[in-house]
Amino acid sequence: MSLVNHVYTPTQISSSHAVELTNVRRIFGKRAVLNGIHLTIRPAEFVAVLGRSGTGKTTLLRLLSGLDRSDGGSVRVAANRAVVFQEPRLILAKRVWENVVLGHKGRGARRDAVQALEEVGLRNHVDAWPKTLSGGEAQRVALARALVREPSLLLLDEPFASLDALTRIKMYELVAQLWERHHPAVVLVTHDVDEAILLADRILVLANGSVGLDLTVNVDKPRDRADPAFVALRVRLLAELGVLPNHIIENTTVVSNWRQS
């Protein structure tokens, strides 16, 4: 079944918020994957979404992108938004610059593509074919394709999951730089707790069809994984995800200190 048949336009929202969900439900069969979610995201806010498999992370992102529709409630999002998926989804028969400006018309398309590719460090790959790119380079093209639309809401669906560890670190730095330069609101769906802490201002944990935890990341930037505040937040999130047993959490000094701060 073509995804095009399911594309719809959520209600556009005023400039005071990038996302506003009110009592949103999404049901598959008899199961409510999202069950009455309330969520507001401010312009330029970087939000990471964590949760066990099946808790509705990707479903939430699809609702925000317009690739899926809710079964109840109100979905209001910024009109200008772009999505970067786990796979780059490049068209092999088109050159890199053409992939960046897919759907764009006008004489300035190549110029805009070159500018976006320069921002992601691929100025020398403008006329390359997708087959010649590494995994990290292909994902940079996907980021350039999102950037060229100058979105006020950028949706990232586990965009680093298929990359090796060293490439992921470089991509974290790139995304952070692009966010600071362009200031879109960002929603990052990820399974990686460290990734969420490194990049986001705010972290949501989905559970039982709703937001089980909503935390502000009070860790100084640039963030260091060895920082006690970073460690404390990691332990807290892993506990919320059911990865760490309670006796380890309660006996972790940094977590106790962090809870009191």
pLDDT tens per residue across span 176-217: 999 999 999 999 999 999 999 999 999 999 998 899 999 999
In eight-state DSSP terms, residue 44 is T
**CA dist., res. 153 & res. 44, Å (int):** 8
Looking at residue 252, its pLDDT comes to 55
Looking at residue 10, its pLDDT comes to 62
Domain map (residue ranges) of the chain = 3-217, 230-261
Residue-wise pLDDT tens digits, 228-251: 999 999 999 999 998 876 556 555
Looking at residue 240, its pLDDT comes to 92
> pLDDT class for 5, splitting at 50, 70, 90?
very low
What average pLDDT does the segment 1-17 reach? 49
**∠ Cα 179 218 214 (to 5°):** 85
Mean pLDDT for all residues in the chain = 88
Write the CB contacts of 229 (distance below 8 Å, at least 6 apart in sequence). 218, 219, 220, 254, 258
Between 147 and 10, whose confidence is greater? 147
Looking at residue 242, its pLDDT comes to 87
Between 106 and 100, whose confidence is greater? 100
Looking at residue 14, its pLDDT comes to 55
> pLDDT class for 104, splitting at 50, 70, 90?
confident
- Domain 3-217 listed as CATH 3.40.50.150: no
Query: Which of 109, 184, 194 is CA-nearest to residue 153?
Result: 184
Residue-wise pLDDT tens digits, 74-89: 999 998 999 999 999 9
What average pLDDT does the segment 167-171 reach? 94
pTM: 0.88
Asked if pLDDT for residue 254 goes beyond 50, the answer is no
